[in-house]
Amino acid sequence: MVNLTSLRNKIAQRIFTADLMSSAVLSSLVTPSQNKWGDETASYSSGATIDVVPFLYIKSRLSYQPFGDVQQGDVDFVVKYDVTLQPKDKLTWQSTDYFITEIDDSAFLGNGLVVQVIRCRKAA
């Protein structure tokens, strides 16, 4: 039987490798404020470098996938289980800014998170 620690180690050895993994900068959304017209202005933390594995990158077309319809500029990443993420956080990957729109943390073994899958949309 596989235990949680063993599974996390195997994922780290086989998925989060130099061949597959990229670096990205994760910037957390600081409490948004409103300007005098009532428009929301977002500010982000300075950011921290995290390891990501991009696995679905739609550059110029619409694709229909089991995880949902993917549009141009969307990208899915696998992120390690211990990274703290929130929707609306900003991820900078390959000098392009993306906003996290969905987080799928359903990859559990027992009561432990194994990986997180995030969908990001390219910033306009």
Mean pLDDT across the stretch 47-60?
80
Answer whether residue 124 shows pLDDT above 90. no
DSSP secondary structure letter of residue 3:
-
Reported as type and span, the H/E element at residue 77 is strand 74-80
Res. 57 pLDDT band, cuts 50 70 90: low
pLDDT of residue 4: 85
The answer to whether 116 and 103 are in contact (CB under 8 A) is: yes
pLDDT tens for each residue of 87-114: 999 999 999 999 999 998 776 777 788 8
